[in-house]
Amino acid sequence: MKNLLLRLLLVCAGLAGAFIAPANAAVEININRGNVQPLPIAITDFISADGIGAQISAVVEADLKRSGLFAPVSRAAFIENIQNPDQPPRFEDWKVLKAEALVVGRIVREPDGRLRAEFRLWDTFGGQQMMGQQFFTDPKNWRRVAHMIADAIYERITGEKGYFDTRIVFVSESGPKIDRKRQLAIMDQDGENIRMLTNSNDIVLTPRFSPSRQEITYMSFEGQQPRVFLLQLETGSREVVGNFPGMTFAPRFSPDGQRVIMSLQQDGNANIYTMDLRSRTTTRLTSTAAIDTSPSYSPDGSQIVFESDRGGRQQLYVMGADGSGQRRISFGDGSYSTPVWSPRGDLIAFTKQSGGKFSIGVMKTDGSGERILTTGFHNEGPTWAPNGRVLMFFRQNSGAGGPQLYSIDLSGYNEQQVKTPTFASDPAWSPLMD
């Protein structure tokens, strides 16, 4: 990021002792199994002079617990009071609590005003250190340090990248249902640090992150004219992608961030186009008398999934990035919409309407292996965490009220509400931050 105050520097040396446990370390979570038992982990208050350490460790604990893969041990049960995080703990005191892993740390204010955050991860039953790292940052970014520590612990124990140092852009909805104000908003993945990105009465829809820059694309009905915008998150500057005749729907970036793919409506039907953001030239990929929309690239950019009613109702189709080889992949009961390709490349998430209810599900990229993760009155708009293990979506319950954000993992068991101060819809998950 351009603002150096927001940079967090991972220091690869500086903590005494081994950083990485031997290859036979016993503490691990196999997240590829269907039913994962959460790992008991003890996270102590990080030592600090002003209480910031306890705040940071609390965020680390909340991140890991919310993943559904970790079961933090209650602090009230702790036997040992860690005073020196540089010394090995009394392993027997933690084994009694059945804590298989232990996290200790220290927060120090440097002479230049920065925070130095140090932590160590211990295998309590193996009696060895699994990792140790330290970070430097501006004090105002203490929450981000906590997310980065949680990511490091998650990766060390599961073997896969974490997703805590990320943000969510969404549509914030407020006011009465018949006259609801919709603004773009952004927050940390845990619902903290919310700020508004727009402040007008114009309707905004479908915000999406660039995979390579701190930039989003979205649709706005400014002056009653639907247009696609690019918004720079650091500077707040924005620009129109292009003025197109008719309606524009569901803009989304290509994996390299150099193109935007979208659906343009003309003469009563909608087709899919790409626009090169450098030359601003457009290329038409579909040509049917149907509604083709909600395109999403595969992570390698070679394929595109989209929805189309060319067969009579909304179904999912896949084609090459040049529009070739268009083929239907969904064949279940009901209609399918809002497909999103997983960052891992192995699955496609979707919304399914059947039997008067809306479901969030996933299928393999050839359409096989369909699994429904959650069903309700109105669930819609899945978006992937950057590690491809968790989805966020919005839910509207019957009766009064408005949409709210929820997350769920691929097991379908760890469903949680992501609380926001207003109603919220159309979430989009960022990549891991730089």
Q: In the 3-class helix/strand/coil scheme, how is 3-66 assigned residue by residue?
A: CHHHCCEEECCCCCCCCCCCCCCCCCCCCCCCCCCCEEEEECCCECCCCHHHHHHHHHHHHHHH
Q: In angstroms, rounded to a whole number, what is the distance separating the alpha carbons of residues 328 and 339?
A: 13
Q: Which of 234-248, 275-289, 386-400 has the lowest mean pLDDT?
A: 234-248
Q: Give the pLDDT band of residue 13 (cuts 50, 70, 90).
A: very low
Comparing 174 with 54, the larger pLDDT belongs to 54
Instruction: Say what the pTM is.
Output: 0.90
% of the chain residues with pLDDT over 90: 76
Of 51-55, 200-204, 234-238, 327-331, the one with minimum mean pLDDT is 200-204
Per-residue model confidence (pLDDT) at position 250 = 83
Angle value at C-alpha 235, between 230 and 236, nearest 5 degrees: 50
pLDDT at position 14 over 50: no
Give the span between the Cα atoms of 264 and 292, in whole angstroms: 9
Question: What mean pLDDT do residues 141-154 have?
Answer: 97
pLDDT for 61-110, tens place per residue?
999 999 999 999 999 999 999 999 999 999 999 999 999 999 999 999 99
Angle at 209 between CA 206 and CA 212, to 5 degrees: 155
Give pLDDT, residue 196.
Answer: 94
State the pLDDT at residue 243.
Answer: 67
- The three-point CA angle 99-102-107 to 5° equals 150
Residues 6+ apart with CB under 8 A from 325: 318, 319
Report the pLDDT value the prediction gives residue 224, as an integer from 0 to 100: 72
Mean pLDDT for 189-199 is: 94
Q: How confident is the model at residue 434 (pLDDT cuts 50, 70, 90)?
A: confident
Residue 266, strand partner residues: 269
The pLDDT of residue 269 is: 83
